[in-house]
Amino acid sequence: MSSALPDIDPEEDTKIFVPLPEGNLLVVMPPLLRTWLCALARALDAAATAEQGPMSLNLFGPVNPELDQDDVVVVLQRQMAVDAATAEVLDNSTATEITIDQGFDWLRVIQLGLRAVSGPLGDQLILELDVTSELLASVLSMLSFDLCEALSL
């Protein structure tokens, strides 16, 4: 699977998520960026549900730093949260309007992608998404900033 990042300038003041008067968010996202976000969601989902996947501890860090690994309940909670967020993005990848709840799921995927760039998933993501880490981080930062701004209003 490879989805080259669309031609988006992270420095440009482009609004991707626009708050609507009734509370929802308008999603003004180019189709290629949507495809790319779906590929990111699939990669994160696969990593989160892998039995010994790098996402479990290396990406998140342990809940209790005194232990080598988290217990099964914590791991399961984390997998379910990531699974729900990635499913939300994949199920509504073509939506032009999303709710605030859905917006927070999109934010999770974007933030986890951002965190993965500098972690052990970075190389895998970059390979799958066919981009450089610098560009990947820039676009994800732009999306996160824009979505945070929309969710703050």
> Quick one: 32 or 87, whose CB is closer to another protein?
87
User: For residue 95, how many C-alpha atoms fall within 13 Å in the half-sphere facing its CB?
Assistant: 17
74 lies in the binding site for another protein (CB under 8 A): yes
Q: Give the count of residues interacting with another protein (CB under 8 A).
A: 28
In the list 14, 58, 64, 94, the residue contacting another protein (rule: CB under 8 A) is 64
Is residue 88 within 8 A of residue 28, CB to CB? The reply is no
Ramachandran area for residue 51 (φ above 0: left; ψ -120 to 50: alpha; else beta): alpha
- Interacting residue with another protein among 33, 46, 63, 87 (CB under 8 A): 63
Residue 62 near another protein by CB under 8 A:
yes
| CB-based burial, 100-132: b 16+ in 10 Å, e otherwise | eebbebbbbbbbbbbbbbebebbeebbebbebe
Residues 116-145 touching another protein, rule: CB under 8 A, are: 118, 144-145
Please tell me whether residue 73 binds another protein under the rule CB under 8 A.
yes
Contact pick of 37, 108, 121, 125 for another protein (by CB under 8 A): 108
